[in-house]
Amino acid sequence: MEHIINLTKENIQQVVDASMDNFVVMSFWAQQQPESVQMLQLMEQIANEQAGRFILAKVNCEAELEIANYFQIQSLPTHLVLNKGQPIDGFAGTQSAEQVNELLNKHLPALWVQDVNAAKAILADENVTKEKLEEALALLKSGYADSGEKAEVGLYLVDTYLQLGVLAEAKTLLATIGLADQDSYYQNLKAKLTLAEDAADTPEIRQLQQALEQQPDNAELSIDLAKALNQANRGEEALDSLFVILQKDLSAADGKVKQVFMEILTALGQGNTLANQYRRRLYSLLY
């Protein structure tokens, strides 16, 4: 169901049914009552800003007098909050956006819950694309911060990191989950991380690491190893190995080290936490 609807006799049962799982705010208004029109516009604005948090059911009392009479509406504007088919709160007259939100926040789930639920729906899709996973990642990062870093949200964030192949971030976050929250989902993610790390430890990487141990100053070998690490979704290790060289010589290997370093940063993307961290570290060397 859309988050803003016109309530009529034809769809009222559908709205009542929807209130079993979602909160519904009924807005009673009439064109001849300017204050009710203004409040309706404010409620539409709030409903759009919080899209999905509640359903705004608009009741035009001039066209739907029976509904207004059923809910015993005495004056306009009037608003009722429905849950499980029953009015649980409401207000009459005009209210500021702050007052409306204060009332809604008493009953509605926190805004971050909406973000997390949207991300969970993305993760549940077996054919999810990388673009959608990145969308889920943004939602979960926001939800994790706004929830006060709840472990439940953190686990969904770890799941998303693993599906995107961002193993370092997944491992770091998974290590923060306390013993009390180490449920079956945690154990599942821990096993997935172990498998992903094993898969990322390729023969090519091991061979390059061994060669580099024998020739630690070989910049070309370092570049090849960084590329292999990045290909195996071990971007942090790749960047760290190159940054050690750049700290000593920004023009190492005729500038190739810096070039590959920048290419890896670009591949990770502008919003990537790891990329932003190493981009700042590089700027500290440049300036």
Question: Does 23 share its domain with 55?
Answer: yes
| 75 Ramachandran zone, left/alpha/beta (phi>0; psi -120 to 50) | beta
Q: Where are the alpha helices (DSSP H) in the chain?
A: 12-18, 34-49, 65-70, 97-107, 111-123, 130-146, 151-164, 167-174, 184-200, 203-214, 219-231, 235-248, 256-268, 273-286
The CATH number covering residue 8 comes to 3.40.30.10
Question: Does 154 share its domain with 84?
Answer: no
Question: Does 263 share its domain with 187?
Answer: no
Question: Does 75 share its domain with 166?
Answer: no
> Could you count the other beta carbons within 10 Å of the beta carbon of residue 133?
19
| Tens digits of residue pLDDT in 234-286 | 888 899 999 999 999 999 999 999 999 999 988 877 777 788 889 999 999 88
Question: Does 151 share its domain with 174?
Answer: yes
Which of residues 155, 172, 199 is at a domain's end?
199
Query: In which residue ranges of the chain is pLDDT below 50?
Result: none
Question: Does 99 share its domain with 139?
Answer: no
Question: Does 91 share its domain with 11?
Answer: yes
Question: Does 208 share its domain with 135?
Answer: no
In order, the DSSP letters of 141-174 are HHHHHHTTS-HHHHHHHHHHHHHHT-HHHHHHHH
Closest CA to 25 of 49, 53, 1: 53
Q: Give the span between the Cα atoms of 42 and 53, in whole angstroms.
A: 16
Question: Does 139 share its domain with 159?
Answer: yes
What integer pLDDT is reported at residue 52 of this predicted model? 78
Number of domains in the chain: 3
